[in-house]
Amino acid sequence: MLSPRVLKSASSLMCRGFSMGQMCRQGKAPDMAEGNTFLLVSNVRNRLREIVGASTNWKDHKQALTERASLSQYLAQSQDELPAKTMKDSAIEAHLPLGTQPALREKYLNYHNSVRFGRILEDLDSLAVLICYSHTWNKELTRSPLSIVTALVDKIDMRKNIIYPDCDIKFTGHVTWVGKTSIEAKMHMSQYHNGAYTDVLDATFVMVARDPENKRAAFINPLIPEGPEEEAIFQQGEINKKRRVELSTASLLKVAPTAEERTLVHNLFLNTLDTRRVSFHSRILPPNSVWMEDAKLKGLEICHPQERNIFNRIFGGFLMRKAYELGRANACAFAGCRPTVVAVDDILFQKPVEIGSLLMLSSQVCYTEGMHVQVRVHTEVLDPLTRQHSTTNVFHFTFHVEKEVPSVVPQSYGESMLYLDGKRHFDETMRTQS
């Protein structure tokens, strides 16, 4: 990430101010005082609507889509036609003044008097899109011809377990890597508490650029690193891309497990055999264990226009919030105590969710170790007329709980693959946080 001084200077280009009233020693940050200008998180989505010319009324959405189709003439035919941008061009600072504006807390407050992490996921998704539009913005146009959408949440690493509901929050971020049609954006979240900002989380999102009708890929401005620090950041983006390709190639949906993983699955199978009977079908549950089949939780959402994004499909942040809340509830029911999120990784957006869809969410505890619970949430849309199911997203969450949890035990081959996939995600999370 770029230094805070650079981020603050760049973010002032699209900011507005407000009066914060009297200062509070605990949670009101000095840089949110009267006279300072900054972008409010609550205004990010309004800013995005202005950039793309999105309709604010559902009844006008078809007309707005027709008008956006005419912007195709402004798309570049190759990346060489577009001017190079720097990381400073996309640098943004956005504030969530939970300390200085108490009226905002109701939306973010949970039952345990802390911040709803699902709401933070929504804000991160909107901010990532705005960062990418800042990188691709053409001053000669009043509206952007690009449709920039979330393709992948690569990683969200928690640096702090507690997010206070009455302390100001600051988001900073910028573009860190660019391909021909894809963009990586990194964001940092900090919170003002006891007189100083402390780190809360770091997030990496991968976005893709599409044409105005969101039908095909579109070229974006190249990124030119300035100086050794930015060159290192850009190279890390290249490493991240290579790692994503390697993980996709090694997916258990494509290739067989490794020899070590096959041995692990076979040992799990042997531990469930009833030694009193010579049968492959007679299975018993080992002590302090739970069958994977009994570690599920499901939900259903009817996708209303209220939750639409600027392109009149369901907002990706809304999907992340619903998946997180279901996954957290699953971890809580499984462990019997309150879980805290440790990491979110490898959230894949395979297909957009249309307004009016029946969204089915299925959460599965797929791996446990010590005081950690790994949860996978699979979402799909159901067409009630054809009864066809289409996968839209897959989410992975790592939770920490306050006591040792039972082991989950697969019975079928498919469950064994879910178990191994969960173990892979958990091991990667532990590796990156060590």
For residue range 200-232, what is the model confidence (pLDDT) as tens digits?
999 999 999 999 988 899 999 999 999 999 999
For residue range 239-266, what is the model confidence (pLDDT) as tens digits?
999 999 998 889 999 999 999 999 999 9
pLDDT at 33: 62
Burial of 255 (0-12, 13-18, 19+ CB in 10 A): exposed
Q: With bands split at pLDDT 50, 70 and 90, how would you rate the model's confidence at 180?
A: very high
Burial of 401 (0-12, 13-18, 19+ CB in 10 A): buried
Q: How far is CA 299 from CA 322, 361, 391, in A?
A: 9, 5, 15
> What's the start-to-end Cα distance of the chain, in Å?
20
> What is the C-alpha separation between 8 and 158, in angstroms, rounded?
23
Looking at residues 1-27, what average pLDDT do you find?
45
Location of structure tokens 């108490």:
102
Name the nearest CA neighbour of 212 among 168, 146, 156, 151: 146
Please tell me what DSSP assigns to residue 385.
T
**Does the pLDDT of residue 56 top 80, yes or no?**
no
**Does the pLDDT of residue 17 top 50, yes or no?**
no
pLDDT at 321: 96
Question: Phi, psi (5° rounding) for residue 9?
Answer: -65, -45
In sequence order, the β-bridge partners of residue 382 are: 358, 389
Question: Among the residues of 82-116, which ranges form H helices?
Answer: 87-90, 105-108
> What is the C-alpha separation between 96 and 118, in angstroms, rounded?
15
Q: Note the pTM of the prediction, 2 decimals.
A: 0.88
Looking at residues 399-409, what average pLDDT do you find?
96
